[in-house]
Structure 1
């Protein structure tokens, strides 16, 4: 059942909060691997930080989705953002005091990932409540554009630059961004609550298992993400050791993902009008396979 549509200013607050937190997230995405690589050169330990941040999605994503459907999502996102801000403040403090350790980083990354499973799901569910149906596509496009520009383009080199200025600075920056985002979302009108929680997880799994197309996509994308994330988890070591890039060079290298993303989102709708979706998906997976093979054999940063 659809709730009443909130005031237009509510989307403006959500959009601004998304922009602020996306820049903060991007800064940490760039600076976090640099911090771990500064403490250890062991690829397994470096990859472990990415694993700890993604682990909560495996353990709690279904629970987080069901929970976000049954509470005041606005309040949930505010509370999670405040807690994530405090966790990042602790990381900044221990880094500044030069007492940060791999276990501390792992613990904070796990907490950040746990917050993501609840907050990101809740924000996605808030959007149809505060935006009229006819403007939903436009609102989604604005949020995606903000993510691409803020998180992918601006934040990555900024995060690397802040890190070489002072290792604690990017995490303090991200902590403040979460607190600002929490304050903005706190001003959004209350979203509806619903009783009962447990049945939704089982019903959702049952529905997915009976949907041939989505089940195939879920399995395929899961396997593809395992491979992609395995490579990306040690990308900072690859950039430094094999490509010979500095910290800032690594930050700029990450922005190339955004360039590819923008090109992809520009040409995808045109291709979909001419080529079947299954052909596009298969071709995309083959292209991605070839890019990984290229990365495996080259040491040319420009390539």
Structure 2
């Protein structure tokens, strides 16, 4: 791992800190304008809607243009949008919807260029390690430090978290500016749908995509009214809500750091995460009535999510040809993140009609069904992940990914 990787890693961590601040501050801002679960869920809906509309074009842009320059442009745009949100924070809820949509649109570019940039800056046998460190640092910034800081800043002054968020994007842009990457041959006019077609032909990645999409749909259902869940069921204050979100980071950090060893040593690591995640959600919905108990279940869930993320990222980076990686990654983003606005709408409606616990029970049932159906395909095509295995570039081969018996 060289200088370019560490600059990319640092920039990602700093911008993730801003995202963590935003994660706590935006629903708190919405809650000052309305207590209607449907209207609050609308913030999540409009923030996630761009993943349906902009993911594929962003992937095509990532395969055609210089990824570093695209990332820089997106970071500066996000910086400006955060500054605008800070300046006009007391506007109507419709303004909050619009800003959430624009910020979500800009976020598609970093997501699209991130995979090619990681592959360009990290040697193939170090992908699990790089992805693990990336997940761990993002968990610290996005979940552990960012949300409590966002809640605290919001309690001090409503626009403060958004000004600080704008600053984090500016710092990340400065770090990315110092990267020096070589230009790669790129298609003059990449076909937008080509990545989606490639993905649908690859059985292992297709199964992973379905599981990830279901997980994100369920998370969106529960997150849409999470601020009300925290306030009414757990009795948390604004600052306490940020601390509540931070509990997720403990498992995410551990999962990111330990994923490389677990994936190398235990052949059933990936399938174990598929089973454990909905069980943890069930615990939150049934026997967790205080912050400590919720945190215990959330830590295990986030640990499994991080391990799953490291494994699937490495699988994608090895399996997909470099010239298609941006489009295939964005095709997965379209599906796995594009379901979030649907989940947010469902979460708001379900919570409004059946209570704040209802989205959790629906999420447990849906994720359990999909998880059980995926176990056989995952075992057939993905008993594990290996650093030194080179997957066939063509999806028609549907190469299985296997774990070595020994540690890497």
Q: Same fold (TM over 0.5)?
A: yes
CA contact (8 A) 2:51 2:104 kept: yes
Query: Is the aligned partner of 1:229 residue 2:220?
Result: yes
Query: Is the aligned partner of 1:219 residue 2:210?
Result: yes
Q: Distance in 2 between matches of 1:161 and 1:262?
A: 22
Q: Larger RCO: Structure 1 or Structure 2 (Cα < 8 Å, ≥ 6 residues apart)? A: 1
The TM-score normalised by the length of structure 2 is 0.66
CA contact (8 A) 1:71 1:192 kept: no
Corresponding residue number in structure 2 for 1:3: none
CA contact (8 A) 1:126 1:191 kept: no
Unaligned runs of 5+ in 1: 1-6
Q: Distance in 2 between matches of 1:19 and 1:113?
A: 18
CA contact (8 A) 1:81 1:182 kept: yes
Compute the displacement of 1:134 (Å).
Answer: 4.6
| 2:193 aligned counterpart, secondary structure | helix
Unaligned runs of 5+ in 2: 294-408
CA contact (8 A) 2:136 2:257 kept: no
**Relative to structure 2, which stretch is displaced further, 183-192 or 58-67?**
183-192
Query: Is the aligned partner of 1:127 residue 2:118?
Result: yes
Tell me which of 271, 287, 290 is aligned to 2:282: 290
Corresponding residue number in structure 1 for 2:199: 208
Q: Distance in 2 between matches of 1:137 and 1:227?
A: 26
| 1:124 aligned counterpart, secondary structure | helix
Corresponding residue number in structure 2 for 1:42: 36
Corresponding residue number in structure 1 for 2:272: 280
Corresponding residue number in structure 2 for 1:183: 174
Corresponding residue number in structure 2 for 1:253: 244
Q: CA separation of 1:118/1:243 partners in 2, compared to 1, >3 Å: closer, same or farther?
A: same
Compute the displacement of 1:51 (Å).
Answer: 1.4
Q: CA separation of 1:266/1:187 partners in 2, compared to 1, >3 Å: closer, same or farther?
A: closer
Compute the displacement of 1:188 (Å).
Answer: 1.6
CA contact (8 A) 1:60 1:117 kept: yes
Q: Aligned residues, how many?
A: 291
CA contact (8 A) 1:77 1:119 kept: yes
Compute the displacement of 1:210 (Å).
Answer: 2.2
Q: Distance in 2 between matches of 1:189 and 1:168?
A: 35
Q: Name the Cα RMSD after superposition.
A: 2.4
| 1:302 aligned counterpart, secondary structure | helix
**Structure 1 moving runs of 4+ over 6 Å:** none
Compute the displacement of 1:278 (Å).
Answer: 6.4
Q: Distance in 1 between matches of 2:251 and 2:217?
A: 20
